[in-house]
Amino acid sequence: MSRPEPDTATTLIATDRTPLLPAIAEDMPPPSSIANGHGHLRKVAENFPSIVWVIASIEFCERFAYFGVLGPMQNYIQNPRVDPIRSGGIGLGQAHATLVNQGFMIWCFLTPVLGAVVAEQYLGRVKTILYSAAIYGGGLAILVLSSLPAVRETVISLPGLLLSLFLIGVGTGGIKANVSPLLAEQCTSPGQVIRLLKSGETVIIDRELTVQRVFATYFLFINAGCLAALASVEIEQSYGFSAAFAIPMTVFIIGFIALMTSKDQYNSSAPDGSIIPNVLHALWITIKHKGNLNCARPALEPVESRYQEYPWTNSFIDDLQTALSASKVFLLYPFYWAAFSQLLTNFISQAATMQTHGIPNDILPYMNPITTLFLLPLLDRLIFPTVRNLGYPVHHFPRITAGFMVCALAMLYAAFVQRTIYVSPPCYDHPRSPTCMHGQVPNDVSVLLQVPAYILVASSECPASVAGLEYAYANAPKSMRSLIMALYLSTISVGTFLAMAVLPLTVDPKITWMYIVLAMAVFGAGAALWSVPVQRKEAG
């Protein structure tokens, strides 16, 4: 990246091949100010265009629906309707409920790859989001109908549940793969611009900081949607599951209407019908040449090839090389998500074995968005700018590593809570066992002991998840943004697969060891992050 000449208000404009954020330039820390003839100029983020708030609001509605469904789901699947402590709907038990929930989460974060292919290859981002939202809404409607008391007495209740989760997962994939790239594409200003503020201060409007703030805002809206879904848990307690699932459906319909009315206002890249075949073709050539991607460069094509030339340029191979290098970091994220997934599965089941003092056991996961809504603005507006002004860059890798380590600490704390339950009366290491007081009395441990675990998980998510989104987008060539974002999101599915590997430990009295194993795995992933070889370059 070139620097402005002295006394010249220079605009640094990135080319199409330049990522919107700097790509892992760990060896060249970005300063918080740039020196020129006027002295040191402070870097600031630009004000968002109004359409950013519309897109963020649509994502709020989608996350409201997703977590509004997922919040009551563990109880709905695990417990029978006549459970003496926690009423449910289907009554499959904890292990099967956890399996269905984790299978649903796996599906929801595998489908973004399909959503990315459809967007990049055929429909473009906006149309893909629209059609996916329609499928999502259909899944929500089926869920509401299948959870009606009259339907739950029939054999179609479970098939209806599974069909609804399938459709919601398809819709989630098309939305999640494309909303965040679409959001960042609304920031159309060049890389860096020197501007005079109304206050008289000359500053640098920095695209990197702008997009970072866009992603932080996006993440805030996601967590606000999670928090608003508290309504579905409360309604579940008072009015039943069908009413609880109807609330997310209603909010989602509102978001769908907002999406429809603003569909012509977005800046978005047109689909490239050749991008996916070209990627697959180049990767196949690479595999045939023992992993050497340079063999797919047109300049290196052998004369005797049956093709006159490859249908791409060297720039395309450069972009693909950058994307593949960046994707190496994604290999470590599944260990984080395996631990994180306990938030909406085994943490809820753990709470059901404790004294809840009248608090629904599935309401506690919403401590996570509460913590995030407080902590993320603190990091974005105060802590990170202060660190930058002190001359220390806030790179992706340190934030990701810190998130992994805090998540490991959260799992160790959850193991401590589980151990405390096991040493407490009346049922000790078999809480709510049918052989102990007919399974109607939880152990004598307050559910408030769980609260630090939720706070720690949220504290890990703020650096790890937001930095992961930034990292994925920073290293995404313009033609592959949805695809790279989908690869990042697919690590959540792989992580949930890993979490299923510890399902044999989700029975009493082994659950303590499940949390310890997860803590060791995510700690090891965080430690290994620094040994992952990635391509390091400057943005610009």
Determine the residue type at 202.
T
b/e map of 373-410 (b: 16 or more CB within 10 Å)? bebbeebbeeebbeebeeeebbbbbbbbbbbbbbbbbb
Which of 486, 490, 274, 329 has its CA nearest to residue 282? 274
Q: What is the spatial distance between Cα 100 and Cα 88, in angstroms, rounded to a whole number?
A: 15
Between CA 480 and CA 333 the distance in angstroms is 20
Per-residue confidence (pLDDT) for residue 539, from 0 to 100: 34
Name the nearest CA neighbour of 34 among 69, 5, 62, 57: 5
Domain ranges of the chain: 50-262+318-531, 275-311
Check residue 189 and give its pLDDT: 66
Distance CA 125, CA 102 (A): 27
Amino acid 482: pLDDT: 76
* 50-262+318-531 fold: Growth Hormone; Chain: A; (1.20.1250)
Taking the C-alpha atoms of residue 260 and residue 361, their distance in angstroms, rounded to an integer, is 37
- Determine the Cα–Cα distance for residues 158 and 24; give it in Å rounded to an integer: 47
User: Which pLDDT value is given to residue 488?
Assistant: 85
Give the pLDDT of residue 300: 55
pLDDT in tens for each of the 540 residues of the chain?
444 444 433 333 333 343 333 343 333 334 444 544 444 677 776 677 778 888 888 889 999 999 889 878 888 888 877 665 666 778 888 778 878 887 898 888 889 888 888 888 888 888 999 999 999 999 999 999 988 887 777 778 888 899 999 999 999 999 988 888 888 777 766 667 777 767 777 777 777 777 778 888 888 888 888 876 678 878 887 888 889 999 999 999 998 898 888 877 777 777 766 677 888 888 888 888 888 888 888 865 554 554 446 788 888 888 888 888 778 888 899 999 999 989 878 898 899 899 988 887 877 888 888 898 899 889 888 888 888 778 777 778 888 999 999 999 999 999 999 999 999 988 888 888 888 877 778 889 999 999 999 999 999 998 898 888 888 777 777 777 777 888 888 888 888 888 888 888 888 899 999 999 999 999 999 998 877 655 544 333
Q: What distance separates the 2 farthest-apart alpha carbons in the chain?
A: 82
Token readout for 466 is 């937001």
Distance between CA atoms of 106 and 368, rounded to whole angstroms?
20
pLDDT for the residue 84: 57
pLDDT at position 190, please?
Answer: 65
Q: How far apart, in whole angstroms, are the C-alpha atoms of residue 350 and residue 342? A: 10
Q: What pLDDT, on a 0 to 100 scale, did the predictor assign at position 7?
A: 41
